[in-house]
Amino acid sequence: MANKMEKITSRDVDFSQWYTDVVKNAGLMDYGPVKGTMIFKPHGYAIWEQIQKFADLEFKKLDVQNVYFPLLIPEKLFLAEKEHVEGFAPELATVTKVGNKDLGENLFIRPTSEVIIADFLSREIKSYRDLPIKYNQWANVMRWEKTTRPFLRSSEFLWQEGHTFHSSREEAKEMTLDILEVYKKLANEILLLPVIAGRKTEKEKFAGAQETYTIESLMYDGQSLQSGTSHYFADNFAKAFNIKFQNKEQKEENAYSSSWGISTRLIGAIIMTHSDDFGLVLPSQVAPIQISIIAINDSEEVMNVSNNLRSKLSSDFRVELDKTDKSFGFKISEAEIKGVPIRIEVGPRDLKEGVVTISRRDLRNKVQVKLEEVQNYISKEIIEHDKNLYNKALENRENKTFKANSLEEYKSIIEKTPGFVLVPFCGEIECENDVKQKTSTNSRCIPEGIEQTKSNCFNCNKESNMMVYFARAY
Amino acid sequence: MANKMEKITSRDVDFSQWYTDVVKNAGLMDYGPVKGTMIFKPHGYAIWEQIQKFADLEFKKLDVQNVYFPLLIPEKLFLAEKEHVEGFAPELATVTKVGNKDLGENLFIRPTSEVIIADFLSREIKSYRDLPIKYNQWANVMRWEKTTRPFLRSSEFLWQEGHTFHSSREEAKEMTLDILEVYKKLANEILLLPVIAGRKTEKEKFAGAQETYTIESLMYDGQSLQSGTSHYFADNFAKAFNIKFQNKEQKEENAYSSSWGISTRLIGAIIMTHSDDFGLVLPSQVAPIQISIIAINDSEEVMNVSNNLRSKLSSDFRVELDKTDKSFGFKISEAEIKGVPIRIEVGPRDLKEGVVTISRRDLRNKVQVKLEEVQNYISKEIIEHDKNLYNKALENRENKTFKANSLEEYKSIIEKTPGFVLVPFCGEIECENDVKQKTSTNSRCIPEGIEQTKSNCFNCNKESNMMVYFARAY
């Protein structure tokens, strides 16, 4: 196939070019015919499927129900919420005709479904008995972007959006935080992204939300990537969309709500955290292929052993045995560039000694393992592979996490070694706008688990009562 | 919630109204704000998820890989295949601007993805080593429809579309038929739709296909519903889109292809086959809730038994125990109208005798079952429930399957008792157009497993060499 074995730029030389080289050469994506759109090729889409599988199960444990709302939203519905339409207006792809006929009204392709879900629920919810409602939708959404990048920013992307409605503040807040826990677990345990969780500042929180919670991960190059957000609206959202219910005391009350989402950006986060100059490196739990068996020739003995290994390992792992007539070297490169965690080479010389050669993608080592020990060996090594990925990412983050007390100090850090910088911050929107204007960076989150001491704001020097991570971000 | 307990029209009085009443009252769907669009509510979407789960697994057994292609297709790409654009042109929702800016070109929302996939693969496929390519996509598509009906025909619907490319005719044909087998299995064993499988006539086959295979199911009212199609293109498709590969002899050859799809129409087929005047009846394998436990009061004893039953049954079934303060009667009606296959009522009087009362949705019976026998009893009864659904559907089909040798005979059958009518047919497009014009019906398929004898065409009286099912259809 085209491009598969092209050279990959070193990530330390040109991180951005490296990223493009990896996504293309690993067969994750290609560009669509409309500018800013992308094709999810099988290897890329399969990673998303693994993410979906995990998240969907966790959502269902929280009694979340999946739904599907229409793609097209009439302009008039959109206009109901002014803040909403202002945020999205320049990015809205608009259907104006069908065939040769003008529709006479503008229909927007959803940039999110909150308006259309809110409109529906304002009629659907009558009584406290109808609550809670916990909807989730796996869907495509569209936001026309000027500069795009595979997985990170494209006009159309895939995501899940959860929208829940409750009869009390406490329950809505609990839901918001329960989802944050799901996202943390997904990031830390499945995607092996050591994320920092916390609350967004006033400037960075979602329009209309009372509080926005986020998980932030640090990429290899020291830039932050927002990897999932969960919003608590109190009754703000219900007020804006007129979603009322009759409570147990027979009184009308606005519903309390949360919303939350993760997207195919996560694939970008995985790549920019774990991969290297030899291509993709994937956490085993989302790797579409976990073990690749490569036969050095197609002699009966070699093929028998390869087939046996495949059937034995298939009960626990996703295994591939490529039987095409591609060369041995090509198959090795392909397993490497595609980020297969474990590679087994089966060759006649090894077999004489009753062994096969096993490589871990993260170490790029070669170890001869006795045939009867292969299963045990791999079960252990795949865990080590994942631990190593997490630890390396954590080490990178720790090496790139700093403290600063003044803007000068902050700027010199960010310019020298991009990373997370913990600063005392006043929390004011104007002050953060000022920082953004001066440094092209913004706050990432007010982290959980860090002492929030009083001090003076690193930028405006006014009294500060929070410690906040600032960083350059994707 | 709105409308839940409204009356359902009898299906023998007004089938069309009955259908609308069932889909609304069972909480499967609601109408979207744009005409012809629909909202998949949790109970409706969950049925689709069950269908997806089964089909996706079967596809993967055939080494099919999931992909995702962009929603928007530029007009110029579409114009490449004339037959294609002519078929879809009047139904294409067209994006002409973003924000306030005109795009300067028309972008169509995909009515299918075949053009955009073909365009991509014409560059991707180089050598026989790149084949087979077996892509599948689960996605939303849009075809603007004048008259719409929930699940059966809406402007936007959900489906899967498979597109596979092979290095030989035989392999492409085999794929086409393998998928037909998957669809038959899905229909017969999971959805309990006793389908007739066969080949489409020249008039009814898909544009550009060499052969179209179909599964046709007969609804309660005697109308047919096309429930899945699989197309064999030979090299027609590759020729139209210039998809070539270098074969083992180093010669350039057009690829051989298949395409195939099922959609959310299947939900309509399930409803119109199995449901009754009391609401939804669902095959247990796609029922979002398989067992509903209803406690008569919330006394400790009743709740203990209910909780225990739930946790015991949850290992094998999808179980719901509704703990809201809705009335007992309301909960019973809800389980019924939503098509829960098995309902368990737990009450204090029964418990004194160590029993609970169990109802099967298809029989609407009530049987007292000893507590310790509940699990066994349900495991057997749920199988009987499904058998009964299949047999009733089969009986309906058999009662509504006829033979005719002349158009007169055909018309009198169709007008009296709609159903499948097997006729000797010449196979000519003009003749079938004539039948369609005279009767508003068309051929459904040239069935598998029926002797194809020579005779005279039921309409034009020319020599016929095939026996074909004709019917009125959705």
CB proximity A73 to B under 8 Å: yes
User: Chain A contact for B104, CB < 8 A?
Assistant: no
Indicate the DSSP class of residue B89: G
User: How far is it, in rounded angstroms, from Cα A227 to Cα B251?
Assistant: 48
Residue of B131, B135, B189 lying closest to B160 (CA atoms): B135
Name the one residue in this structure whose structure tokens are 């739904």. Answer: A67
CA distances from A324 to A222, A319, A321, A334 (A): 41, 15, 9, 13
Predicted confidence (pLDDT) per residue in A300-327, tens digit: 999 999 999 999 999 999 999 998 889 9
Candidate from A345-354, A464-473, B443-452 with smallest mean pLDDT: B443-452
DSSP, collapsed to helix, strand or coil, labels residue B39 as: strand
Contact criterion met (CB < 8 Å) for B32 and A119: no
Q: Which CATH architecture has domain B291-396?
A: 3-Layer(aba) Sandwich (3.40)
Which pLDDT score, from 0 to 100, does residue B120 have? Answer: 97
B181 Cβ contact list (under 8 Å, min separation 6): none
Instruction: Give mean pLDDT, residues B200-204.
Output: 97
- Asked whether the beta carbons of residue B72 and residue A93 sit closer than 8 angstroms, the reply is yes
Task: Compute the distance between CA of residue B290 and CA of residue B338 in angstroms, rounded to an integer.
Answer: 10
Distance CA B262, CA B190 (A): 14
Strands B29-31 and A455-456: unpaired
Model confidence band, residue B89 (pLDDT cutoffs 50, 70, 90): confident
3-class state of residue A396 by DSSP: helix
Is it the case that residue A399 has pLDDT exceeding 70?
yes
pLDDT, one tens digit per residue, over B24-74 is 999 999 999 999 999 999 999 999 999 999 999 999 999 999 999 999 999
Q: Which CATH number fits domain A15-274: 3.30.1490.20, 3.30.465.10, 3.30.930.10, 3.30.2320.50?
A: 3.30.930.10
Q: Which residues of A touch B47 (CB under 8 A)?
A: none
Six-digit token pair at B91? 């139904």
Q: Taking 90 as the threshold, does the pLDDT of residue B453 lie above it?
A: no
Query: For residues B369 and B357, what is the distance between their CA atoms, to the nearest angstrom?
Result: 6
Is the domain spanning A291-381 CATH 3.40.50.800? The answer is yes
pLDDT at position B6, please? 62
User: Which own/partner pairs from B437-440 qualify as long-range (CB within 8 Å, at least 24 positions apart)?
Assistant: B438/B407, B438/B411, B439/B407, B439/B410, B439/B411, B439/B414, B440/B472
Q: What CATH number matches the domain at A401-471, 3.30.450.20, 3.30.110.30, 3.40.50.410, 3.30.70.100?
A: 3.30.110.30
The residue count of chain A comes to 474
Q: Residue B376 in contact with residue B370, Cβ under 8 Å? A: no
The CA-based dihedral angle spanning residues A48, A51, A54, A55, taken in that order and rounded to the nearest 10 degrees:
-100
- Verify cis geometry, omega within 30 degrees of 0, for the bond prior to A132: yes
- Taking residue B315's Cβ as centre, other Cβ atoms within 10 Å add up to 8
Helix (H, G, I), strand (E, B) or coil at B154: coil
Residues of chain B neighbouring A38 (CB-CB closer than 8 A): 70
Q: Is the model's pLDDT at A51 over the cut of 60? A: yes
Which residue in A186, A158, A23, A53 sits closest to B137, CA to CA?
Answer: A158
Chain B residues close to A33, C-beta within 8 Å: 70, 73-74, 77, 116, 119
Helix (H) or strand (E) holding B414: helix B407-416
Say how far apart CA B214 and CA B209 lie, in whole Å: 13
**What is the DSSP code (8-state) at residue A222?**
S
pLDDT tens profile A129-176: 999 999 999 999 999 988 899 999 999 999 999 999 999 999 999 999
* Cβ(A107)–Cβ(B35) below 8 Å: no
**Phi, psi torsion values for A124, nearest 5 degrees:** -75, -40
Mean of pLDDT values over A379-389: 98
Give chain B positions within 8 Å (CB) of A65.
42, 45-46
CB contact under 8 A, B33 and A119: yes
CA atoms within 13 A on the CB side of B63: 12
Q: How far apart are CA A16 and CA A13, in angstroms?
A: 9
Q: Where are the domains of chain B?
A: 15-73+114-274, 291-396, 404-471
Residue range B404-471 forms a domain whose CATH class is alpha beta
| B120 to A39: CB separation less than 8 angstroms, yes or no | yes
- CATH T-level topology, domain B15-73+114-274: BirA Bifunctional Protein; domain 2 (3.30.930)
Residues 173-232 of B with CB under 8 A from A: none
Closest residue in B to A127 (Cα–Cα):
B1
